[in-house]
Amino acid sequence: MFALFPYIVLFPLIGFAVLGLFGKKFKSEKLVGIIGSGTVGLSFLTAAAIFIHMLGLAPDQRKEIVELFTWISTFTGTSSSLSVSIAYQIDQLSILMVLVVTGVGFLIHVYSIGYMHGDPGFWKFFAYLNLFIFMMLNLVMGSNFLLMFLGWEGVGLCSYLLIGFWHERKFETGGYKPGTATTSDAAKKAFIVNRIGDFGFLIGMFLIFTKFGSLDFDTVFNRAAVLSVGGGVMFWITLLLFVGATGKSAQIPLFVWLPDAMAGPTPVSALIHAATMVTAGVYMVARCSVLFALSPETLQIVAIIGALTAIFAATMGLVQNDIKKVLAYSTVSQLGYMFMAMGVAAFTAGIFHLVTHAFFKALLFLGSGAVIHAMHEEQDIQKMGGLKAYMPTTYKTFLVGAIAIAGIFPFAGFFSKDEILWKAFSSDYGSVFLWLAGVLGAALTAFYMFRLVSLTFEGKERFDHKHVHPHEAPKTMTVPLMVLGALSVVGGFIGIPESLFVGNAIEHWLEPVFAKANDKLSIGYHSPSAMEYILMILSLGIAVGAIYAARTMYMKRTEIAEGLKSRFAGLHKLLWNKYYVDEAYDVSVVTPTVKLSESLLWKGVDVSIIDRLVNGSAKLINFLAGYVRRIQTGVAQMYAVVFVGGILVVIAWIVFR
Amino acid sequence: MSILGIGILTWITFLPILGMVVVLMLPKEQKETMKWVAAGATFLQLVIAAIIFLNFDKGMAGINSADGMQFVERASWIDVQGLSWFGRVHIEYFMGVDGLSVTMVLLTALISFVAVFASWNIEKALKGYMAMFLLLDTGMMGVFVALDFFLFYVFWEVMLLPMYFLIGVWGGPRREYAAIKFFLYTLLGSVLMLLAIIALYFSVTILDPATGEKMHTFNMLAMMDPANLEPDSLLAGVSTYWRYLAYIALFIGFAIKVPMFPFHTWLPDAHVEAPTAISVILAGVLLKMGTYGMLRINYAMFPDIANDTAWYLAIFAFINIVYGALCAMAQKDFKKLIAYSSVSHMGVVLLGMAALNTQGMMGAVFQMFNHGTITAMLFLIVGVIYDRAHTRDLDAFGGLAITMPKYTGIMTVAFFAALGLPGLSGFISEAFSFLGAFQTFRTITIASTLGIVLTAAYMLWTLQRVFLGQPNEKWKDMPDINFREAFMLVPLAIIVIFLGVYPSVILDLMTSSLNRLVEVVNTGAAMAIVP
């Protein structure tokens, strides 16, 4: 059964190759859609079969590596030899990621058939999506750091291509450089900001090789497992890896690209910028859990960055009017939760939230796509309202997603978020402050989500009926919504906490993966479980309160919202402008770099100094030659005189020396 | 191995000269024939390169052992007995390849073949152009196969002359300035190199195998053996003043070619003025002669100094990488931007070399190869739009992705390969250069790795300005790439992708040789003790 799993990777690659090379010649969108989504569907089926097979095996046999061929090798005959293979690994963590990537990926592919209908780049879109799935699978199935890095940058490439898919369109960045940006700016920004993170990842990888003499996961983690906790090198390795994660997973300080990435088509936002790619950083930390376990300082940093990002992004989400931007900030915020979980060494909880988040956030984005479609590319929620009458399926599924992300029992988000909050509170690596941050973030999340629901689907219709005729989306779009809706309801049941008298399935499933890390950490829980119920009810109450507040403010008594807006105008402006982070980066990094390169280095050093020296020396020689040339008069008598004179000097020297 | 009784390396080196002779004999009007003769000559050269590749023994190390060299051809070329105090002058026709040079031979044959097709639209004095082009090809190939220093120098100079004319006659508006600048820079390097060669010549003695008497030699392998250094000669000893001086002289000679900061300012001018094909050759092959010379000559003959100065080299590598990238970012001229990107990418080669370990060296030599293919693509890409629009101003374009989709597809491969995307060849060589250097110079490498961020920035910025956004009305009827252009670009793109996935094809060729070179550099210093 295990021998099948390279095919999981192979199918999307075939899809990409076929569509990339011949897609343009395929006349029917149907064929392109079937190839594009079919290959991903096949991958999903294969993965599901393997997963079922794994369920029947003993926990220690649920891991397998298949080596295809040697990718790079530098054989030196000494310990510094390095050999990296194209080798795929399936274990409990990988298969979970594969199921999410191919499962959610398949649904989004199907959805895209409807969403991208009529687009001249239809085939190209599916080719890129297939390439993305291929790269993402490399990322989660690669059995060494370099192959993971291939996937890591590969998904970045696809992200770049897909954000800028409509590269000729204008794009509103929201306050910053109004009216001048295009989607290609957003794409470029995404890639470059990610490159900064990748720089950290790369250096981290070099350090790993220096320290462990290998880049294979197994070798590195086994060698790490015998080390004792602490040490500067482990701190730097993990910190640098985390820098990579902050890029890909849009955490402080590198989160700035993700809101702009919404410039891409909505299925892309759902697949890449919500459900899968942006969670790569979380996966990476989980995969390297044993390395992080060796450096408690880094774990602290991870937890704090995660918590800060969770709140920081949520506050920006409060005031956005672009339906996708709200969801984007929500994604950043939810990723913060996942990192908070990683930071308090609750690796399972983080992965659990990753899975449930993939369901409900994909659902929300696809729902927003249906809305945008129905509203003729309008994304401003202030120009919507009352849409539930026109698109009931979208409304219902969207509402399910919103309830799930708000963390209402028994929807998926409740269990995973609660698990994180509890671990943040009770773990040796957690603290009350982290818990408080988490609860505050949860309250904000519930609030802005229901602000979004209220403004979009309920209340008065604020759009222009003459030009806009909202309608329900076609079947290819609503069916994926319903499937994801169902998953958002029941998805949480895989991780019902022990305290609710059911075994925590995901915890048991992932236990062997994190065993090495947990050995190092020996986490104890210092609170009685009665506390768990209290906190659970508390956070649930806060979420319900926030939902109530949002519905009141944006449906019944809109004057409250307006009043708050004018009373806290300064704060509103700050949030609206996203704390001016983009502007700050522009002033402190981008502009100086461009200026430095042009005026100081190129025009300064190259042209003014080096070239002046070069041209100067040529001129000097020319100038001297002007004098020397005068010796060559062409007068033979003159030459004879000099000749005789020379002989005399030589004779004189020989005689008198 | 030989064909018609003539050694295969002689064939691969002098085939272009044969072509040149044919071209020169053709009447001036037969332009098409001239092109096909040149194409034929370089194609045969490519076939021979393929034969060499297929018959190359990966286990043989070469570098400083004559037995480890392959396809060796050796004959006495100039032998003058008793030239008074000068002694006997014996210059050999000594050729051979090892893992270090075989990749460069392949690259030269490949790039030359591609460049012929890039020259297809040359109108002015085609006969002269093709003759010069083929002569240049011979010069380049000769440099990579020569194992006698005198022979090496001859080829080095042979290459200089046609290059001067190719830029100076067939170049752009400021061609004369660019050509003279190139010539002066390179000539300075040649003079310094010549001085060092003479110093080496008089410091090294071997026994004539025939007569058993002592004689000086230009044999490069003999120069690499410290036992051959005359005890009282100029370059005897370890890390002496004169050895430093000779090392630096050679080094500057090669650094100008690389080009290494601050000797790089000829490059942007030469590139901007040179016709497309010549830019392709210049960036694709010529620059590698610099780093090749450093490895073959500086490293192998002066391991002690190479060790002492590795740190300085790393500093210069860092400057090249970051400075080149920043200067590239400042450019408005497409071609100049690519030229500066070469400065940056060749810095990676220098950094990998400075590491003095196998990973770094393999990264460096592989980067030489990859940079050859990738930059060739980039210059061809610039050539495509310059041919159509007659401008290279980056801001003059926009939206070509819509008007020229095939072109954009190819361009994407080249650009992302240049910015080191994993899965494409450039990544592997860059990662290995950095990885190797990281073991030796941690801080410098970390600082240099910043180059990957800068490269992404200027590459994507360029891509955006030229290809994305709304199409410029002025160029909306610009035709997509034609068959000839695709014929040049597609194979290169395939190579770039293939080597990103399966680099062992090239890496395996060089492993033994570079391990030997690392060993020579690291132990050579200790061995070079005066008897």
pLDDT tens, residue by residue, B264-307: 989 999 999 999 999 999 999 999 999 999 999 999 999 989 99
Nearest residue of B to residue A181, measured between CA atoms? B469
pLDDT over 70 (residue A598): yes
Please judge whether B511 and A74 are an interchain contact, meaning their C-beta atoms are less than 8 angstroms apart.
yes
Q: For residue B528, is it within any domain? A: no
Examine the pLDDT at B8 and tell me if it is beyond 60.
Answer: yes
- Of A587-596, A601-610, B481-490, which range is least confident? A601-610
Residues A2 and A120 in one domain: yes
Nearest by CB: B469 against A168, A196, A199? A168
A window 615-634, beta carbon within 8 A of B: 618
Q: Would you call A548 an interface residue with chain B, using a CB distance cutoff of 8 Å?
A: no
Q: What is the pTM of this model?
A: 0.92
Residues A143 and A89 sit within 8 Å (Cβ to Cβ)? yes
Q: Which of A536, A554, A576 is the last residue of a domain?
A: A576
- Cβ contact A191–B262 (<8 Å): no
Q: Which CA distances in Å does A107 have to A363, A476, A482?
A: 10, 9, 10
Total Cβ atoms within 10 A of residue A416: 30
Chain A residues whose beta carbon lies within 8 Å of the beta carbon of residue B435: 82, 206, 209
Better-predicted residue by pLDDT, A1 or A11 = A11
Min CA distance, A147 vs chain B (Å)?
Answer: 9
Q: Which residues contact A592 (CB under 8 A, 6 or more apart)?
A: none
Query: Does residue A136 sit in the same domain as residue A153?
Result: no
Partners of residue B461 in chain A, C-beta under 8 Å: 188
Residue A174 has pLDDT above 70, yes or no: no
A53 and A191 both lie in a single domain? no
Under an 8 A CB cutoff, do A76 and B518 touch? Answer: yes
Give exposure, A99-130, as e/b (b: 16+ Cβ within 10 Å). bbbbbbbbbbbbbbbbbbeeeebbbbbbbbbb
Q: Which residues of A touch B180 (CB under 8 A)?
A: 618
Same-domain status, A38 and A6 = yes
Q: Specify the pLDDT at position A327.
A: 94
Has residue A80 been placed in a domain? Answer: no
Shortest CA distance from A214: residue in chain B: B435
Phi, psi of A309 (to 5 degrees): -60, -40
pLDDT at site A522? 74
Q: Which residue of A has its CA nearest to B178?
A: A615
For residue B254, what are the domain limits? 2-514
Whole-angstrom CA distances from B285 to A107, A514, A559, B51, B496 are: 49, 51, 72, 20, 16
- The whole-number pLDDT of residue A104 equals 95
- What pLDDT shows up at residue B531? 32
Residue in A with minimal Cα distance to B450? A199
For residue B462, pLDDT beyond 80: yes
> Do A614 and A543 sit in the same domain of this protein?
no
* Cβ <8 Å between B515 and A76: yes
Transcribe B317-366 into DSSP letters. Answer: HHHHHHHHHHHHHT--BHHHHHHHHHHHHHHHHHHHHHT-SHHHHHHHHH
List, as ranges, residues 578-597 from A with C-beta within 8 Å of B: 593-594, 596-597
pLDDT band at A529 (very low <50, low <70, confident <90, very high): confident
Residues of A in Cβ contact (< 8 Å) with B464: 167, 184-185, 188
| C-alpha gyration radius of chain A | 31
- State whether A164 and B470 contact (CB < 8 Å): no
Nearest CA in chain A to B362: A74
**Does A359 score more than 70 pLDDT?**
yes
- C-alpha angle A404/A405/A408, rounded to 5°? 50
Angle at CA of residue A197, ends A196 and A200, nearest 5° = 100
Interface membership of A154 toward B (CB under 8 Å): yes
* C-alpha distance from B286 to closest chain A C-alpha (Å): 21
Task: Pick A203's closest partner by Cβ from B268, B446, B464.
Answer: B446
pLDDT given for residue A182 in this prediction: 84
Within its chain, how far is the Cα of A44 from the centroid?
Answer: 22
The angle subtended at Cα B404 by Cα B402 and Cα B405, nearest 5°, is 75
Residue B327 has pLDDT above 50, yes or no: yes
CB < 8 Å to B469, chain A: 167-168, 182, 184
User: Is the same domain home to A561 and A630?
Assistant: no
pLDDT of A483 > 70? The answer is yes
| Mean pLDDT, residues B491-508 taken together | 94
Q: Is A94 a domain residue?
A: yes
Element (H, E) at A535: helix A529-551
Q: Is residue B479 part of a domain?
A: yes
The CA distance from A133 to the nearest CA of chain B, in Å, is 15
For residue A15, pLDDT beyond 50: yes
Q: Looking at the structure, do residues A30 and A47 belong to the same domain, yes or no?
A: yes
Pairwise CB contact (< 8 Å): A72 & B469: no
Asked if the structure places residue B525 within a domain, the reply is no
pLDDT band at B85; cut points 50, 70, 90: low
Cβ within 8 Å of B, A 178-207? 182, 184-185, 187-188, 191-192, 195-196, 198-199, 202-203, 206-207
d(CA A257, CA A181): 14
The tally of domains found in chain A comes to: 3
Two structure tokens written together for A607: 């042209």
- A462 reaches B (C-beta below 8 A): no
- The C-alpha atoms of residue B306 and residue B160 are separated, in whole angstroms, by 27
pLDDT of B530 above 50? no
Claim to verify: residue A172 and residue A129 sit in the same structural domain: no
Same-domain pairing of A490 and A614: no
Residue-wise pLDDT for A308-338, tens only, equals 999 999 999 998 889 999 999 999 999 999 9
Report the pLDDT value the prediction gives residue A280, as an integer from 0 to 100: 95
Radius of gyration over every alpha carbon of chain B, rounded to an integer in angstroms: 23
Residue contact B330–A597, C-beta within 8 A: yes
Cβ contact (<8 Å) for B468 and A614?
Answer: no
Q: Residues of chain B with pLDDT > 90: what percent?
A: 62
pLDDT band for position B187 (cuts 50, 70, 90):
confident
Residues 57-86 of chain A with CB under 8 A from chain B are: 69-77, 80, 82, 86
User: Is A173 an interface residue toward B (CB < 8 Å)?
Assistant: no
- Indicate whether A125 and A172 sit together in one domain: no
DSSP state of A493: G
Give the pLDDT score at A527: 58
**Would you state the structure tokens that stand for residue A138, as one six-digit string?**
């490399």
Whether B146 is covered by a domain: the verdict is yes
A396 touches chain B (CB under 8 A): no
Interface contact flag, B435 A206, Cβ < 8 Å = yes
> Is A598 in contact with B330 (Cβ distance < 8 A)?
yes
- Cβ–Cβ of B329/A150 closer than 8 Å? no
**Which of residues A528, A554, A576 is at a domain's end?**
A576
pLDDT digits (tens, 9 = 90+) for A87-134: 999 999 999 999 999 999 999 999 999 999 988 889 999 999 999 999
Could you give the CA distance from residue A104 to residue B520 in angstroms, rounded to a whole number? 56
Per the prediction, chain A carries an average pLDDT of: 89
Residues A187 and A119 in one domain: no
**Higher pLDDT residue, A27 or A251?**
A251
What pLDDT sits at residue A627? 80
Q: Which residue of A has its CA nearest to B503?
A: A72
A297 touches chain B (CB under 8 A): no
Three-state DSSP class for B6? strand
Q: Residue A602: give the domain boundaries.
A: 583-656
Provide the pLDDT for residue A34. 93
Which of A102, A117, A143 is a domain's end point?
A143
- How large is the average pLDDT for residues A593-606? 82
User: Which is more confidently placed, A198 or A594?
Assistant: A198
Mean pLDDT, chain B, rounded, equals 90
Among A173-177, A435-439, A535-539, name the most confident range. A435-439
Q: Which of B75, B14, B77 is nearest to B48 (CA)?
A: B14
Give the closest-approach CA distance of B329 to chain A in angstroms. Answer: 7
Q: How many CB pairs under 8 A join A and B?
A: 139
The mean per-residue pLDDT over the stretch A411-428 comes to 90
Closest Cα in chain B, distance from residue A39 (Å): 21
A95 and A202 fall within a common domain: no
The residue among A267, A331, A332 whose CA lies nearest residue A105 is: A267
User: Rounded to an integer, what distance in angstroms lies between the CA atom of residue B320 and that of residue B327?
Assistant: 10
Q: Is the pLDDT of residue B453 over 60?
A: yes
Tell me which DSSP letter residue B179 carries: H
Residue A330's pLDDT is: 95
Based on the structure, what is the number of domains in chain B? Answer: 1
Whether the predicted pLDDT of B196 surpasses 90: yes
Rounded alpha-carbon distances, angstroms, from residue B109 to A93, B85, B380: 48, 42, 17
**Residue A156 within any structural domain of the chain:** yes
| Phi and psi at residue A70, to the nearest 5° | -75, 125
For residue A175, the model assigns a pLDDT of 55
Encoding tokens for residue B22?
Answer: 């044919």
DSSP A499: G
